[in-house]
Each structure stands twice: as C-alpha cells, then as structure tokens.
Amino acid sequence: MKKILLTGGLGYVGSVLVDKLLKVEKMMPQLIDIHAKFEVQKLDNTVLLTMKFSAEVDAALKANKPVVALESTIISHGLPRPRNLDVALEVEKIVRENGATPATIAIIDGEICVGLDSDQLNRIANDDSVIKASTRDLAILTATKKCAATTVAATAHIAALAKIPVFATGGLGGVHRGDGFDESADLRALSMTPIIIVCAGVKSILNVPAT
C-alpha cells in the first residue's frame, strides 16, 4: 500500500466536496470510518489517499524496469462482452511480450489499483455497477468505496503519480460535435500531465478538426 497526494484530480470542486464529506461524516454512517479506512487527511487543499500496486507492477517499478499504464474504461464501457475481457488480456500479453509490465488502472471498492489481477479484470469487464471515472471523480469514488474504470484522463493522472512514464490506449476523447465548448478531460490531461501517451488518435465520432 502506498500513500499519494491526489491533487490535480481534485481541483476546487473536489476539495469542496471532500470538505463537505468530512464535516458531515458523523451524520452519515457509511463515512464514519473514512479516516481510518482510507487514510484521508486534509493537507492544504489536497487529500491523502492510498494507492495499491499489484505485486508484478510493484516489483517492476522497484527494479526500475519498464511499465506501461493501461486504461480500464475501454474494458467496462468501450467494448461488448465477452470481447472486452479478451482484449484486456490480449493487450496485457502484448505488453509483456515486448519486455514491459502492464499496469491496468482502476478503482476497486474505493481503492486505486495500479495493476489488476484476473479477478479484478473480470469484475471491471462484467460488473454492471462499474462507474466511468474521470479525474474529477477520483476522490469521491474512493471515499464512497465505489468500483470504477478510469478514463484516459484519470489513468494518465494516476500513472503520473505512480511514476509510470508511458501510457498506451486506443482512441482519445476531444471536442464533441455540436457545442465547441463540450470538451473531454482527456485534452487537459494531454496538456498538463507529464506522461507519454501512445494512442490510435482521437475518436472518429468527435469533431476531429476542432480537437
């Protein structure tokens, strides 16, 4: 278990929401043990949360071996079952065959997981309650013990905090058709996150020129 400072993923709104949660925890039984269970501490507009590495990813990082971050939203929301799980396993296999360690990222029962085991991958692929999580959602989903798949933006954010410099994915989000101000958080992640993102380009359903 590793403690991290989850800063960029909160922003002003996230910080306000966490403040509210902490103030009303005595009124909400499910949040009574929030400090003990999630090791949350208020630190000047940041929140200290835990991040769990799989044994494989932890060993690779400690040995300074290459690790490639992978998103999980494509598993939970991007592909139909059972193809989604097959693709997840196939991508991890390709990463290993090329000499790196795959680190699929997701939130399992409120815990940020960097590297998933077979049961966790299966849950992300087949559990209808899995939520799609962007960076703005991380603090609340962790505090409420939800299970979520991470978008490109959230995966890049977590990978950067975990000191994983490379992230591979499929299509990126961008400017949506119609309203030119309806933009994916993926674009901000690309401009603000110190990480290399290898991808297939932007999704064709978007406003590609605007993106």
pLDDT digits (tens, 9 = 90+) for 88-144: 999 999 999 999 999 999 999 999 999 999 999 999 999 999 999 999 899 899 989
Catalytic residue among 2, 37, 145, 203: 203
Q: Is 203 tagged catalytic? A: yes
Catalytic residue among 71, 97, 145, 163: 71
Q: Tell me, what's the pLDDT at 173?
A: 74
Full-model pTM: 0.75
Burial of 183 (0-12, 13-18, 19+ CB in 10 A): middle
The arithmetic mean of pLDDT across residues 31-58, rounded, is: 59
pLDDT digits (tens, 9 = 90+) for 201-210: 777 777 777 7
Q: How many residues does the chain have?
A: 211
pLDDT of residue 6 exceeding 60, the answer is no
Q: Is 71 tagged catalytic? A: yes
